């Protein structure tokens, strides 16, 4: 009977090892599936990017809000932390970018490659030595909140126009 007891003990030990290894393999498989799921979501989700640029052949800086992802950004809400009066004109309230419909009302859906483009001002207006930072700030933030596939995203984009000081836009060679 002693041999059977030893064999039973060895069998229990080997079974425990197999059970442990199977458990580890199952955990590794779950982690792999989760990584693939996250990677797939990252490839397919919307990405709202916000960036300034100089329009070719002009001195005007623009602000571009674009969905560079592959699905629509649903219920997009944009908000600015500072007033920005387009072209430095404060006499008309509708020149305040912060109060435009895109920054006050929810946008139901911004499709892939969908863009909103807003003129800011000419470089010589924004970067003038006496430019009022409460009228044409060189730095401001825009927060974008949107949903997709039952998930919610909130991103803050810090816009810094100062790197454009001293740069040149494309010129028409004609």
pLDDT, tens only, 103-159: 999 999 999 999 999 999 999 999 999 999 999 999 999 999 999 989 999 999 999
What CATH number does the domain containing 64 carry? Answer: 2.60.40
Is residue 84 domain-shared with residue 130, that is, in the same domain? yes
Is residue 38 domain-shared with residue 101, that is, in the same domain? no
Is residue 78 domain-shared with residue 159, that is, in the same domain? yes
Is residue 23 domain-shared with residue 87, that is, in the same domain? no
In our burial notation (b when 16+ CB lie closer than 10 A, e otherwise), range 3-25 reads eeeeeeeeeeeeeeeeeeeeeee
Q: What is the mean pLDDT of residues 11-36?
A: 83
Give pTM, 2 decimals: 0.77
The radius of gyration of the chain from alpha carbons, rounded to an integer in Å, stands at 28
19/163 Cα distance (integer angstroms): 60
- Please, what is the Cα angle at 118 between 155 and 100, to 5 degrees? 75
- Residue 173 lies inside a defined structural domain of this protein: no
- Residue 171 lies inside a defined structural domain of this protein: no
Place of tokens 């924004």: 126
Locate 93 and state its tokens. 């309230």
Is residue 120 domain-shared with residue 35, that is, in the same domain? no
Is residue 2 domain-shared with residue 71, that is, in the same domain? no
Higher pLDDT, 85 or 9: 85
pLDDT digits (tens, 9 = 90+) for 40-93: 776 789 999 999 999 888 889 999 999 999 999 999 999 999 999 999 998 877
In the DSSP assignment, the letter for residue 9 is H
Is residue 71 domain-shared with residue 103, that is, in the same domain? yes
Which pLDDT belongs to residue 173?
65
| pLDDT of residue 174 exceeding 70 | no
Is residue 70 domain-shared with residue 144, that is, in the same domain? yes
In the DSSP assignment, the letter for residue 119 is E
Is residue 70 domain-shared with residue 93, that is, in the same domain? yes
Is residue 75 domain-shared with residue 101, that is, in the same domain? yes
Domain extent at residue 14? 1-44
- Residue 170 lies inside a defined structural domain of this protein: no
């Amino acid at each position: 009977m002693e041999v059977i007891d030893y064999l039973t003990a060895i069998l229990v030990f080997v079974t425990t090892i197999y059970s442990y290894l199977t458990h580890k393999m199952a955990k590794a498989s779950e982690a792999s599936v989760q990584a693939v799921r996250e990677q797939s979501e990252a490839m397919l989700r919307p990405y709202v990017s916000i960036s300034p640029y100089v329009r070719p052949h002009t001195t005007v800086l623009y602000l571009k809000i674009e969905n560079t992802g592959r699905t629509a950004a649903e219920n997009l809400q944009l908000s600015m932390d500072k007033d920005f009066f387009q072209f430095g004109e404060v006499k008309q309230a509708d020149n305040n970018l912060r109060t435009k419909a895109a920054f006050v009302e929810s946008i139901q859906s911004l499709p892939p490659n969908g863009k909103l483009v807003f003129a800011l001002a000419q470089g010589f207006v924004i970067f003038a030595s006496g430019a009022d930072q409460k009228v044409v700030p060189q730095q401001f933030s825009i927060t974008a909140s949107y949903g997709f596939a039952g998930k919610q995203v909130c991103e803050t984009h810090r816009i810094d126009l100062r790197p454009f000081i001293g740069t040149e836009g494309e010129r028409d060679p004609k």
